[in-house]
């Protein structure tokens, strides 16, 4: 694991200012010294204009350029994020030769390049990040949780986070949160009602249209999904786009004993052929999925879930619109350009996954906070992070119900030894506990008072 304590500034070289490199720099440059190496002149200039980072217009895969960049800032970490995976691995290995103590991170798109690593990483590479694989995992979970509109996984505690919408006429409408018979190993941490967020929600009454955010074990999230009610189990899935994310999502959907029908549609003949060779139990159609006649001929209207994951946001948006026209109950999409988040929002589609957010989470939790992993959810200014209870903490030796927790902070879970506790009002905090906190537009001063030390700088 690559990491450092919150508040300790690092010197970081990022090779490549594409989507991954730019997003990494945006996340890291708030409190760190960042140098970006980019060989494309226009992209280098844009990066220099938009971010508070140093930019070197050179080819970062050139060993001499790489050495100059590392020595220029005496780098602690190098992140290689160029489009070619083999170049990323080469850059990391060369960086280790130049400076053996440097921490190396390779951002890889093709799953074939990812190898199983130890805690220390692989030879020459401390950490491998694949935004495509992480995105595919999130999409597959969303697809099979029929009532979920958002999903995340906090790997450091092996717990899931899902948001469910409560429809008109549901049995939960009118109930008090405290009276809902939820699974024991989960917690309702927030209720969203229009533009408002209710964190101290035990006495809140559930209204139609509310979105309930639940945190718990993977099994409890599945159970909560069933608690809300599953009118029809999702069995037919149409994936628009034979991208890496599309193929990996299809693989996950057909795993196990579930009998599912999965179809991929893409107009790129090469991608379609590759997908057909790799996915024996998946129907692959070579056709333009933004053409309504193609979708009609492939009976897309029968699908329980439509997933749009091409490499172009514009095509994904059009695919979503087609799914809405056909009356598909659940539509899931990814977007790469952060500017498209608001555009997708205009369609009313709620299950959209920001590629930049996936990258942000991986970078921050692996480079900034180590075991106190930070997770930023799709809503801006909302974070999960872990904090240790020590002798200075206001929580130590008190029960949750006896503590005045600021309204923008929610105690979501407690890690005590190997056990995860989902706290109720009578739960007692002990010194040494690792507490998972959820914050919404939190005041860092209030957070510091609660924890007894400084809050993470990124908050």
Q: Which of these three, 169, 197, 228, is where a domain ends?
A: 228
39 and 23 share one domain = yes
140 falls within a domain:
no
User: Is 153 part of a structural domain of the chain?
Assistant: yes
Whether residue 32 is found in the same domain as residue 123? yes
| Rg for the chain, CA atoms, rounded | 23
Q: Does 373 reside within a domain?
A: no
Give the end of a domain, one of 228, 247, 278: 228
Same domain, 166 and 246: no
Whose structure tokens read 């020459």? Answer: 124
- Cα separation, 259 vs 228, in Å, equals 23
pLDDT at 16: 96
Looking at the fold, whether 185 and 123 belong to one and the same domain comes out as no
> Does 365 fall in a domain?
no
Confirm if 51 and 28 have CB atoms less than 8 A apart: no
Whether 160 and 201 share a structural domain: yes
In CATH, what number is assigned to the domain containing residue 434? 3.30.70.1450
Contact (Cβ atoms closer than 8 angstroms) between residue 431 and residue 396: yes
Q: Are residues 69 and 165 in the same domain?
A: no
Phi/psi at 322 (5° precision): -65, -40
Q: For residue 415, tell me if it sits in a domain.
A: yes
Q: What is the DSSP letter of 110?
A: S
User: In the prediction, which pLDDT does 1 show?
Assistant: 47
Site of tokens 């693989």:
251
Question: Domain containing 63 — which CATH number?
Answer: 3.40.50.720
Indicate the pTM of the whole model: 0.84
Cβ(6)–Cβ(457) below 8 Å: yes
Residue whose pair of structure tokens reads 């249209």 in the numeric block: 209
Do 221 and 247 lie in one domain? The reply is: no
- pLDDT less than 50: residues of the chain: 1, 5-7, 118, 121, 370, 454, 457-459
Q: Is residue 427, in this structure, part of any structural domain at all? A: yes
**Residues 323, 300: Cα–Cα separation, whole Å:** 8
Which residues lie below 8 Å from residue 296, measured CB to CB, with a gap of 6+? none
Residues 111 and 162 in one domain: no
The domain in which residue 447 lies consists of: 381-451
Rounded Cα gap, residues 447 and 453, in angstroms: 8
Question: CA-based angle 53:59:271, to the nearest 5?
Answer: 100
Percent of the chain topping pLDDT 70: 90
What DSSP letter does each residue of 207-221 carry, written as one string?
A: -TT-EEEEEE-HHHH
Is the same domain home to 242 and 342?
yes
* Residues 67 and 28 reside in one and the same domain: yes
What pLDDT is attached to residue 118? 46
Q: Which neighbouring-strand residues pair with 383?
A: 376, 439
- State the Cα torsion 262-266-268-269 to the nearest 10°: 50
pLDDT score at 377: 65
Q: Among residues 151, 156, 103, 129, which one has the least CA distance to residue 24?
A: 129
Mark whether 165 and 191 lie in a shared domain: yes
24 and 74 co-located in one domain: yes
- What is the separation of C-alpha 186 from the centre of its chain, rounded to a whole number of angstroms? 20
Residue 341 in domain: yes
Quick check: helix, strand or coil at residue 306? Answer: strand
Lookup: tokens for 423: 């706290």
* Per-residue model confidence as pLDDT tens digits over 230-258: 778 899 999 999 999 999 999 999 987 77
246 in any annotated domain: yes
d(CA 66, CA 137): 33
Relative to beta strand 196-198, strand 186-193 is antiparallel
Task: Domain count for the chain, please give it.
Answer: 4
């Amino acid at each position: 694991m690559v990491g450092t304590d919150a508040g300790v500034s690092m010197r970081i070289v990022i090779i490549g200012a594409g989507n991954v490199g730019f997003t990494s720099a945006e996340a890291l440059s708030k409190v760190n010294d960042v140098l970006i190496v980019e060989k494309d002149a226009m992209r280098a200039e844009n990066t220099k204009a938009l971010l508070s980072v140093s930019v070197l217009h050179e080819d970062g895969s050139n060993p001499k350029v790489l050495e100059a960049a590392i020595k220029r800032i005496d780098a602690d970490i190098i992140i290689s994020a160029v489009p070619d995976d083999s170049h990323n691995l080469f850059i990391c290995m060369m960086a280790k030769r130049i400076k053996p103590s440097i921490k190396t991170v390779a951002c890889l798109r093709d799953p074939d390049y990812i190898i199983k690593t130890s805690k220390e990483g692989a030879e020459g590479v401390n950490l491998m990040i694949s935004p495509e694989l992480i995105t595919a995992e999130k999409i597959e979970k969303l697809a099979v949780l029929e009532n979920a509109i958002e999903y995340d996984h906090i790997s450091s505690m092996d717990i899931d986070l899902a948001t469910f919408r409560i429809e008109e006429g549901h049995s939960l409408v009118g109930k008090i949160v405290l009276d809902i018979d939820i699974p024991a190993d989960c917690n309702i941490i927030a209720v969203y009602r229009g533009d408002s967020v209710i964190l101290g929600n035990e006495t809140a009454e559930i209204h139609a249209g509310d979105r309930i955010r639940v945190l718990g074990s993977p099994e409890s999230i599945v159970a909560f999904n069933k608690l809300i009610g599953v009118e029809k189990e999702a069995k037919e899935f149409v994936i628009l786009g034979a991208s890496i994310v599309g193929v990996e999502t299809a693989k996950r959907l057909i795993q196990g004993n579930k009998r599912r029908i999965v179809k991929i549609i893409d107009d790129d003949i090469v991608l379609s052929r590759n997908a057909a060779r790799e996915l024996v139990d998946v129907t692959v159609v070579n056709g333009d999925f933004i053409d309504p006649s193609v979708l009609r001929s492939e009976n897309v209207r029968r699908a329980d879930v439509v997933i749009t994951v091409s490499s172009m946001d514009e095509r994904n948006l059009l695919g979503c619109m087609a799914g809405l026209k056909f009356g598909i109950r659940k539509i899931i999409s990814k977007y790469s350009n952060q500017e498209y988040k608001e555009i997708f929002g205009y369609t009313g589609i709620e299950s959209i996954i920001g590629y930049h957010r996936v990258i942000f989470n991986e970078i921050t939790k692996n480079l900034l906070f180590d075991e106190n992993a930070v997770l930023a959810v799709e809503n801006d200014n909302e974070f999960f992070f872990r904090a240790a209870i020590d002798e200075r903490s206001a929580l130590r030796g008190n029960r949750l119900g006896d503590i005045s927790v600021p309204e923008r902070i929610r105690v979501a879970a407690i890690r005590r030894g190997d056990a995860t506790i989902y706290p109720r009002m009578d739960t007692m905090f002990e010194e040494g506990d690792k507490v998972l906190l959820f914050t919404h537009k939190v005041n860092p001063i209030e957070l510091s008072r609660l924890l007894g030390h400084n809050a993470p700088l990124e908050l």
